[in-house]
A and B are shown apart, each in its own frame.
Chain A
Amino acid sequence: MAAEWYLVLSALLFAVGAVGVLIRRSLIVILLCLELMLNAGNLALVAFSRMLGDQDGQVFALIVMVVAACEVVIGLGLIVALYRRRLPLDVDDLRELRG
């Protein structure tokens, strides 16, 4: 399969993830959509790695996976902390940072 298929698929997945972040209000689902976007990036990286014959892309994808894992950990930690303090888990209700 030519590289373009994988790349277009990656773009599509990225767009879906972006729309999910913008549309959904639940904190957990927003984090899930962020995962979608990161994985789309990973797919693109691995596709390029195959197409260019260079394994650096795969290593890059591994590191991205590590970063994603860390981010998920912190994000979920925040959600738990919010939950513990009886704060709403709706991103529209957490809006104290405003002008």
Chain B
Amino acid sequence: MSATSWAWLVLLFPLLGSVVTALGFRLLPGRTAGLVGTVAIALSFACGVALLVNLLGDPAESRHHASSLWDYASAAGLDIKLGIFVDPLSVFMVLVVSGVSTLIHLYSYSYMASDAGYNRFFSYLNFFVFSMLLLVLAGNFVILIVGWAFVGFASYALISFWYSRETATRAGMKAFVINVVGDVGLVLATILIFRELGSFDYGQVFATAPQHFQTNEWTVVAICLLLLVGAFAKSAQLPLHTWLPDAMEGPTPVSALIHAATMVTAGVYLIARTHVLFDLAPTAADIAAFTGLATLLVAGSIALVVTDLKRVIAYSTMSQIGYMVIGVSIGAYSAGLFHLMTHAFFKALLFMAAGSIIAAMANRQDIDRMSGFGRAMPFTAVTLIIGSLALAGFPGTSGFFSKDEILSFASDRGGIYTILAVGGYLGALITAIYSFRLVFRILPGEPCPEARHLIETGHVVHAEPVNPATEEPEDTGIGFPGPEHHIAEQAGGMRIAMSVLAALALVGGVVQIPGVDDVIGKFLEPSFANSPLAAIHPSTSDEWFGLGIGSIVSVSGIFVAYLLYVARPGSTAVLIERLRPLHSFLFNKWYFDEAIDILVVRPVLAVGSFANRTFERLVVDGIVNGTVDLVRGAGGIVRTVQSGFVRSYALLLVSGFAGLALYFLVTSS
């Protein structure tokens, strides 16, 4: 079978899974929907592996194939096909997405088992995977936009999965609205591309762009900036990032899959895919890189102080994506994508562990209430530690190699990019601190009441269901998955998934040890062969130097966290007291939500209410009602003719006849 046939199969299975679970919504008993969904994605992953093998069979230069099913729109100069494009970049993304998705589906099979909306969950989740695969396999900008929009919808549907909970629906709407802003940017960019280059197809666009555009010509810069709007909205970078913390209202597997491993990486993929355009617009690329740096630092600083477990991990996602954005913006494409891969592993693992802990805590997510889980949940504790080590970039873990590869590339390019490198190392320090903040808060120490209950009885504690964000009581079945909570120690599916991810998080870095092997880089090289930046390669010694700095940073961060939380407990309280204004600034997320509210939301609402009060009432209603009144008035006037008096009718008759006779007399004379 050809490569593109495997690619179509990769797309087919999740779609089938989604449709089957959707149609069999009431028919599929028990956990069958979960089985169907997981098997669908597993098949998709298998086809992805087959696709990889097939692609490796081609010589390196010709590892790109396009295929289309039928013409989507073919008229008046438009030629859009329902087409896909298979090359190393898309295959890489397919494998990461489908692989991590399979594990998360396996996790959800057990985790969501007693949720009332189990079938719906798997239908949405499969649909999401389908859309994400469509996005990465798209062969032209139109299909990319289709996949982009579907992913946005799936995200909305899954964030508001527990739709009876008002905070969840509001978070879903917030995510969707910000997503739409990104969509607008993407669509405008596509229109500009079409206007300048006359095609939507990747092959044609990327071939003709270097000839058509001068470097830093304003059109190509505009295109790239619009693409960045889309990328930043999807990947939760400043200033379009405010939706990601709120998106933690969704179930934990959703956070793991969408808001850690896959959807938020779509922006990174977009920049990597359109790197030809970014090479022609270095200004835009620099803007992207520095926005990534800003996000990295801002998100990291917030993660140091927030107390909701999932939100800490969300901010760390935002921060790590900042690294990826830096990577693909400065030309370190394979490094950025390598970090995407390892991040998917350890972030999904972290979310899974968090889900297990939240289950044990009976839906409470406040880390101030958690302690002593190291004894209560050993397996979860180990996975949490492994994930945090990888996140912090502890030497030897996968995160270590991937993060530092980006930073050494940055310092190798020199010039202003050294700022990126320095900022990146600072961010790495902060990352290490907050990731082990979690570890040292939750795991050691006196077991909290929930943990003690677990240790003593072996069962998860049962508490009144409460909205974790607002602490209001809710009905059962609205919020947390059903009345039963599943923790990793008791659910096989969860354990398998977490073990695989833990293994990958630990050893996944071996594929890209500097000086030893360069699997990812070599694999992705054909996709980026046409970029001048890809030729830059830091020397091995430079890379090991960077790795050295990275390990020092990471270990010192862990040590600082140890000091603050284990050796001298209570020191954080003292710090908060002394730096109260700073603490509340960080705790309120740098007041971004409030700023957006004042700058954007209120003016728009004001315009809307103005339009409603004046324009709508006066102009539109005026026209409509005015027309009605006019017609009614005219009708009233005409109605007076129908008086019922025969004699007036006769008079009209005679008058008409006289008039007619007059007319004929006049015209005949």
Q: Are B641 and A92 in contact (CB under 8 A)?
A: no
Alpha-carbon separation in the docked complex, A21 to B654 (Å): 10
How many contacts A-B (CB < 8 Å)? 27
Q: Are B647 and A22 in contact (CB under 8 A)?
A: yes
Residue of B nearest to A95 (CB): B644
A92 and B642 in contact, given A18-B654, A22-B654 (Cβ under 8 angstroms): no
Which of B639, B645, B651, B654 lies in contact with A92, CB distance below 8 A? Answer: B645
A21: chain B residues within 8 A (beta carbon): 647, 650
B647: chain A residues within 8 A (beta carbon): 21-22, 25, 91-92
Q: Are A98 and B643 in contact (CB under 8 A)?
A: yes
Chain A proximity of B647: nearest CB distance (Å): 6
Chain A proximity of B662: nearest CB distance (Å): 14
Which of A22, A25, A94, A95 lies in contact with B643, CB distance below 8 A? Answer: A95
CB of A74 within 8 A of chain B?
A: no
Alpha-carbon separation in the docked complex, A4 to B605 (Å): 84
Chain B proximity of A94: nearest CB distance (Å): 7
Q: Are B651 and A96 in contact (CB under 8 A)?
A: no
A99 and B642 in contact, given A18-B654, A22-B651, A22-B654 (Cβ under 8 angstroms): yes
CB of B1 within 8 A of chain A?
A: no
Q: Are B644 and A98 in contact (CB under 8 A)?
A: yes
- Interface SS of chain B: helix, strand, loop or mixed? helix
- Taking residues whose C-beta sits less than 8 angstroms from the other chain, chain B's interface range is 10 to 19
Alpha-carbon separation in the docked complex, A99 to B649 (Å): 13
Q: CB-defined interface of A18-55 with B at 8 Å, one 1/0 digit per residue?
A: 10011001000000000000000000000000000000
Chain B proximity of A6: nearest CB distance (Å): 19
Q: Are B650 and A95 in contact (CB under 8 A)?
A: no
Alpha-carbon separation in the docked complex, A65 to B639 (Å): 38
Chain B proximity of A13: nearest CB distance (Å): 15
Which of A18, A94, A99 lies in contact with B646, CB distance below 8 A? Answer: A94
B644: chain A residues within 8 A (beta carbon): 95-98
Which of B639, B641, B642, B650 lies in contact with A22, CB distance below 8 A? Answer: B650
Chain A proximity of B658: nearest CB distance (Å): 9
Q: CB-defined interface of A73-99 with B at 8 Å, one 1/0 digit per residue?
A: 000000000000000000110111111
B639: chain A residues within 8 A (beta carbon): 99
Q: Which residues of B in the span 615-648 have a Cβ within 8 Å of any Cβ on A? A: 639, 641-647
A95: chain B residues within 8 A (beta carbon): 643-646
Alpha-carbon separation in the docked complex, A60 to B184 (Å): 83
A91 and B654 in contact, given A99-B639, A99-B641 (Cβ under 8 angstroms): no
Alpha-carbon separation in the docked complex, A30 to B208 (Å): 92
Residue of A nearest to B654 (CB): A18
Alpha-carbon separation in the docked complex, A18 to B642 (Å): 21
Chain A proximity of B143: nearest CB distance (Å): 62
Chain B proximity of A27: nearest CB distance (Å): 10
Which of A25, A91, A94, A98 lies in contact with B642, CB distance below 8 A? Answer: A98
A97: chain B residues within 8 A (beta carbon): 644
Residue of B nearest to A92 (CB): B645
B641: chain A residues within 8 A (beta carbon): 99
Alpha-carbon separation in the docked complex, A94 to B646 (Å): 8
Chain B proximity of A9: nearest CB distance (Å): 18
Alpha-carbon separation in the docked complex, A91 to B646 (Å): 7
B643: chain A residues within 8 A (beta carbon): 95, 98
Alpha-carbon separation in the docked complex, A25 to B650 (Å): 12
Chain A proximity of B659: nearest CB distance (Å): 14
Q: Which residues of B in the span 309-338 have a Cβ within 8 Å of any Cβ on A? A: none
Chain B proximity of A23: nearest CB distance (Å): 8
Chain A proximity of B55: nearest CB distance (Å): 81
B646: chain A residues within 8 A (beta carbon): 91-92, 94-95
A18: chain B residues within 8 A (beta carbon): 654
Alpha-carbon separation in the docked complex, A94 to B647 (Å): 11
List 5 extra interface pairs beyond A25-B647, A91-B645, A91-B646, CB under 8 A: A94-B646, A95-B645, A95-B646, A97-B644, A99-B642
Binding site for B on A (CB under 8 A): 18, 21-22, 25, 91-92, 94-99
Binding site for A on B (CB under 8 A): 639, 641-647, 650-651, 654
Across chains A and B, which 6 residue pairs bring their CB atoms closest together, nearest first? A99-B642, A95-B644, A98-B644, A99-B639, A91-B646, A98-B642
